[in-house]
A and B are shown apart, each in its own frame.
Chain A
Amino acid sequence: MQTGVRILFQTMAGRRFASLASALALAPLGLAGCAAINGMQEPLTADQAATIRLVCPTQEQRAASDAMADGVGKRTYRDGVVADCVKMIDGKYADFKMRLHKDAAISNLSTDLLALGLSGAAALTTGATANQFAEGATVVTGARTAINKDVFYEQTLPAVEAAMDANRSKILASIINAEKSDPDGKSYTLAAAGIDLDSYEQAGNIYTAIAGLTQTASNTAQQAAATVTVAQEQPYYVAKIVAPDIFPRLLRVTKAIRSIPAGPPGQPLLDSIAKALAVPIQPGASFVTERADILNAINQRIHTSSDPATDMTKIEQQVSAFITLP
């Protein structure tokens, strides 16, 4: 049974809607005004069960492997079967990508709807299909906004493909590493490899790729929006030139803070300095944003101080409690 999901674009009652339905439910592509994009590769089992194998690896291969004594022979057999499966899955994936481009080229998408995201359309479907659709739908907002389909296919499709490729590469790497770490075929059995191969096959799935891309885009957008909001809400302050005898000390402190390594080693230091200086940190702020907040606070304190020498000394003491000043 075709388990793939097709996204069909239809013109309904003079307005365009995207509807999502199982391939069987809306399979006839002869529907006027419809076009379809199949969102995932054909599963290996779809057309090969009868002639080649039920799953990859087969029950027989698993049994044969299990019957072997641990050692080079078992490993070679396992790796050979896994390699065959990977090759077959890769073949299906290549077919899928070609079909994706072909679908894109022939789709009747001279509409103002973007192919993979129509929030309102989720209401037209039910159950798991609707959930799948809703995940993808967040890619696009404003369903009635005119969208150039060429832009979508030229820019979005490659991004989705890249995400699928990345997902597949990650899983394939883990399979290869698992094989290498078990040279006798003792713990990484064909059964275990089969589970990983299923994941590898499933990674060639447009919905998984879109969900990942959407999450990334959403996180980035939220962070950018938060930064803009904070920047807009920050008041201006009247700054004074810092005296020549104080400025080198200010530079010493700010350069030391900029030299804190990003990531796990430096984050606790940065947090401690922010706390010592009573610098409020935005929830979820990145390392760079938190560091910028600290630098801004120090500069503001010194550039507005009526006694910059004393304030500079305090800041030096507070910061040098955590990092060495040059």
Chain B
Amino acid sequence: MTPDKPNGFVEIEHTADISLKVWSTTLEDLFKLAVDGMNSIIEINVDNNEPGKYQEFCIEDMDLESMLVSLLNEINYKIQQEFICTKVMEIIVEDEKISGRLFLNGITSFRKEIKAVTYHNLKINHSQKGYSVVIVFDV
């Protein structure tokens, strides 16, 4: 957690891959910001001539960390395979289910290829100030 901002993400040092620290006062915003952070690493140029569209989503898995990895891998797949940028508009987080609404936009280009979202030392931490997580991406 950083004292100056209640929510945010920042890239932190990793010798070979990319480490992203995400923090937020709510679990819902933590998931949203993790997606924004990954999109920021990838450096996506969105196609502004396209109106975009909304899509419902639902992911069920054994714990919060697994659902976070699933969500990020899903969005990374859409970028690489379908050339679509995704933003999480609404999200409900339950113990073994996340669901909500995504906004999908076409993209004209992206700069960085993320091979995968890893589980390396992945733990969503909860304190009085809120939630935080460090995600390592293989690039």
- Whether chains A and B associate is no
**Interface residue ranges, B against A (CB under 8 Å):** none
